[in-house]
A and B are shown apart, each in its own frame.
Chain A
Amino acid sequence: GAVVSQHPSRVICKSGTSVKIECRSLDFQATTMFWYRQFPKQSLMLMATSNEGSKATYEQGVEKDKFLINHASLTLSTLTVTSAHPEDSSFYICSASLNRDTEAFFGQGTRLTVV
């Protein structure tokens, strides 16, 4: 199957700083990637759709100025959590699909802890 890789897998940052998370499709090109957030013991919540070469589409209630998404190439999307606060601590997961006939493939996730 297709491989989606996220980096870093874990990050600890100080409150007020920004953190960038990368999502790469290793063996295929993805014009669209998705970013999810997973709280402990809860499900994945879609945050935004990352579109290559254009602005991301954010879900209702997600602050676009706080969660900056850049999809500059067909194999890389980045999520930057700006001015992070402890409540932003969570597990962030990205996904991408090969095409419309296949399922989404997920990255291994990034555990963000804001102290």
Chain B
Amino acid sequence: AQSVSQHNHHVILSEAASLELGCNYSYGGTVNLFWYVQYPGQHLQLLLKYFSGDPLVKGIKGFEAEFIKSKFSFNLRKPSVQWSDTAEYFCAADYGSSNTGKLIFGQGTTLQVKP
């Protein structure tokens, strides 16, 4: 079955620490990958996406992610987190040869950044 798995459920970091959140997706052929963020009380916002091309994707707010096909992974990274990065982070996949908009989400990771 198509699925997305996030390894870290709750991460606590101090400001300026580096961040890496794991995301693995199950094999299912062509896949488009996304990272969304949900700040407290707000709706989901796109951080970055991978459709094809350069496997290292840069997104907003200094986030980046690397698509490693051999590992079925799409980990999210940020070199130096800020207090304002405190939020819920979701990895998601859209399986299929075209971007359908139908997403399968990982369990989510709660990131808490201490000032």
Where the two chains meet, the residues of B that have a C-beta atom closer than 8 Å to any C-beta of A are 34, 36, 42-46, 49, 51, 90, 98-108
Which residue of A44, A93, A96, A100 contacts B99 across the interface (Cβ within 8 Å)?
A100
Determine if A34 is an interface residue (Cβ-Cβ < 8 Å): yes
> Looking at the complex, which of A12-20, A70-78, A81-89, A105-113 is the stretch in contact with chain B?
A105-113
Contacts of B43 on A, CB cut-off 8 Å? Answer: 93, 106-109
Contact B49 A103 (CB under 8 A): yes
Size band of the interface chain A makes with B = 20 to 34
- Given A103-B49, A108-B42, are A32 and B101 also a contact pair (CB < 8 Å)? yes
B99 nearest in chain A by CB position: A100
A-B contacts, CB under 8 A, total: 51
Those of A54-109 within 8 Å (CB) of chain B: 93, 95-97, 100-104, 106-109
12 additional A-B pairs beyond A32-B101, A46-B102, beta carbons within 8 Å, are: A32-B100, A34-B101, A36-B105, A42-B107, A43-B106, A43-B108, A44-B105, A45-B105, A97-B101, A100-B98, A101-B99, A108-B42
CB distance from A5 to the nearest CB of B (A): 10
Contact A104 B42 (CB under 8 A): no
